Amino acid sequence: MEDCAVTSSVSTFALTSAYQGYHCNEILQRHYNYTGKLDRDRYKDGLKPDSIILLFICLFTVVENSVVLMAIWKNKKFHMPMYYLLGNLTLSDLLAGFTYMLNIVLSGPNTLKLTPLLWFLREGGVFITLSASVISLLAIAIERYFTMLNTKPYHRAKRNRMFALIAASWALSLLLGALPIMGWNCLHDLEWCSTVLPLYAKSYIFFCVFVFLTVLLAIVLLYARIFHFVKSNTQNPSCVQRKPYGHRSRKYMALLKTVTIVVGVFIVCWMPLFVLLLMDFVCPVKMCPVLFKADYFLGVAITNSLINPVIYTLTSRDMRRAILKLLCCRCLMTKDGRVRKIGVRISFTKTDMNPQGLETTISSGNATTSPIKSIYPKLKLSVIT
């Protein structure tokens, strides 16, 4: 019994001492000094112009995604399982913009005033929301793949699958963002600290890059399978008899365009940050100056949350109408809920014979004349409202 008590007290003491540094501000300053970040002017003055630009980008991201979420919530047409994942992606992008705004405000000179616990919460919030956004893209790809396989959809099964994907995406994101505060950090091992994030272990940085690259590869493979499935169906003779070639070709090219945009935007926005984090893993401390410019790379990744609503929602005609109705109900919408058409209609009409009986005559060469009705085009302009 005494041995058990001693063992329990030792483990409790070790656990307490391990987390005791979470409230010591000197540890944070020591790590920033070791990585060379205190040599930069970033931590001496207030917000820099580039930080202010990133703040406006994040603010626009929050506003844009808030409008899309409001449109989904107010329009009953979107209260369907197929829009659940889109709403989840929009929510994660909104939170990503908001958490990165807080990150920018608490950065600079305010960083050195934080305790390691607050620093973990600041960075963990960004990691969680960005992870949720990335994994939501994978969830949408998975749902599209299963929808393609199941030709006879069942509403209840599809709804349960949607909720399972949403719950799994947030559970994985929370776990990934909480790992450092749970102990996967370098508070007691300066040599293995990241330069980009001085309290994070390099092994954790490499693990995050591996997870995100795996998600990217899965998205590419799923959309490749979807594209191959649609292509094979369009080349099926039975499908050729049922659908005109022009319709099949347009559908084929539309899918190709969507897949290219989805994968291309994801790669363009995230690949620079992935490359930077891999450099952080392999570079010795203070040997790679580009690592001190990580904010620009993270800002490019944040723009993915700005572009996602455009790709996944605003390309839908119904979604565009819902957003226009939400933003400007009176000036852009008719009473029956349709988008008001504004333009100029040009039409040509033929007039009747002049009511006064005026005629044009020509000579036939034998002293006789033949009447011809005067017919001319009349241009009518009408404004459609």
Residue 58 is assigned to a structural domain of this protein: yes
What tokens does 199 get?
């309290």
- Residue 102: pLDDT over 80: yes
- Residue 344: pLDDT over 50: no
> Distance between CA atoms of 8 and 14, rounded to whole angstroms?
10
Residue 289 is assigned to a structural domain of this protein: no
Residue 14 is assigned to a structural domain of this protein: no
What tokens does 78 get?
């979107």
Average pLDDT over residues 10-38: 72
- Residue 365: pLDDT over 50: no
Residue 32 is assigned to a structural domain of this protein: no
pLDDT of residue 17: 54
pLDDT of residue 154: 58
Q: What is the mean pLDDT of the chain?
A: 76
pTM for the predicted model, two decimal places? 0.76
pLDDT of residue 381: 43
Residue 361 is assigned to a structural domain of this protein: no
Residue 193 is assigned to a structural domain of this protein: no
Write out pLDDT tens, residues 103-137.
Answer: 988 888 888 888 999 999 999 999 999 999 999 98
From the number of C-beta atoms within 10 Å of its C-beta (0-12, 13-18, 19+), residue 349 rates as exposed
Considering its fold, how many domains does the chain have in total?
1
- Residue 290: pLDDT over 80: yes
Question: Which of 215, 228, 300, 231 is closest to 263 using CA atoms?
Answer: 215
CATH code for the domain of 226: 1.20.1070.10
Range(s) of the domain holding residue 249: 48-181+202-268+299-327
Picking from 45-49, 180-184, 248-252, 278-282, which range would have the lowest pLDDT averaged per residue?
A: 248-252
Question: Which of 135, 111, 133 is closest to 122 using CA atoms?
Answer: 111
pLDDT of residue 63: 92
Residue 165 is assigned to a structural domain of this protein: yes
Q: Collapse the DSSP code of 91 into the 3-class scheme (helix H, G, I; strand E, B; otherwise coil) and give the result.
A: helix
Phi and psi (nearest 5°) for 185?
Answer: -145, -175
* Torsion angle of the four alpha carbons 312, 318, 324, 325, in this order, in degrees rounded to the nearest 10: -140
- Residue 374: pLDDT over 50: no
Q: Kindly report the CA angle at 79 between 90 and 57, in degrees rounded to 5?
A: 15
Residue 374 is assigned to a structural domain of this protein: no
Write out pLDDT tens, residues 346-357.
Answer: 444 444 444 444
